Amino acid sequence: MTTELYYDDAYLREFDAAIVAVDKKEGRPRVALDRTAFYPGGGGQPNDTGWLTIDHRRLAVAKVARERGRIWHTLDGIKGQSIPIAPGRQVRGLLDWERRYLLMRTHTAMHILCGVVWRDYGASVTGGDMKPGSGRMDFEFEAMTADLVAAIEKKCNVEIEAARPVTTRTLPRDAAFKIPDLIRTKINLLPKQIKEVRTVELEGLDLQADGGTHTASTGEVRLMRVVDYRSKGAINKRIYVEIG
């Protein structure tokens, strides 16, 4: 199992680790580490990128993915050169911090949007996705208008200005599911084999099960703009946002 350092400190940019396994996938070498600050993606949040330094050589981490308890880091830039990549080797990891922090702000913005829509309109989430600086979220609305979207945007920016603290906890599954409205998606996406549930709370606004990385305060989002909205079905409406 890989120790997931980003859950203890989402602001950790560099770390030391050891290689525990090596293989190839799609023609590129990849390594599993005993510990990592690279988020492997999930819940709509893309994986981190960055670099691993191995024996004084800095290699790009192009992809990070979770497989059977290990987090694999796919490497670029080797091109047949002799670099000692083997279990037991020590590495130094460095995140592409600008990208990671933008994703943290974006993910927090999506929670703000979800919290406002649930609190004020009682609409469940039916889907979502994000990339650095922008995202979209689908809600169970029968109708959506420009005035409604403008009101939602204004309310979200009020919550950003409030600089609400953002905190995480890990709870036993039974205890977590006693929390009202913990799952905001229309379908419960948490597999039954998951025994512990990580929750993310925007104090006074939103509390959900979530496994991504977030800022410590809603204020770090700075600004949210709704840039588009569309109907995706009779009771499914999509809101597109950007942060600034």
Q: CATH second-level architecture of 100-243?
A: 2-Layer Sandwich (3.30)
How far is Cα 31 from Cα 22, in angstroms, rounded to an integer? 5
pLDDT in tens, 179-224: 877 766 655 556 666 778 899 999 999 999 898 999 999 999 999 9
Q: Which residues contact 55 (CB under 8 A, 6 or more apart)?
A: 83, 84, 89
Q: What percentage of the chain reaches a pLDDT higher than 90? A: 74
Which residue do the tokens 């925007």 mark?
202
Say which CATH topology domain 15-95 has. Answer: Elongation Factor Tu (Ef-tu); domain 3 (2.40.30)
Q: Report the distance separating Cα 107 and Cα 240, nearest Å.
A: 13
114 burial level (CB within 10 Å; 0-12, 13-18, 19+): buried
Q: What is the pTM of this model?
A: 0.92
Of 71, 131, 140, 139, nearest to 107 by C-alpha is: 131
pLDDT tens digits along 28-80: 899 999 999 999 999 899 999 999 999 888 999 999 999 988 999 999 876 65
Q: Where are the domains of the chain?
A: 15-95, 100-243
Kindly state the tokens that stand for 24: 């190839």
User: What is the predicted pLDDT for the residue at 196?
Assistant: 85
Strands 50-54 and 237-243: what pairing?
Answer: unpaired
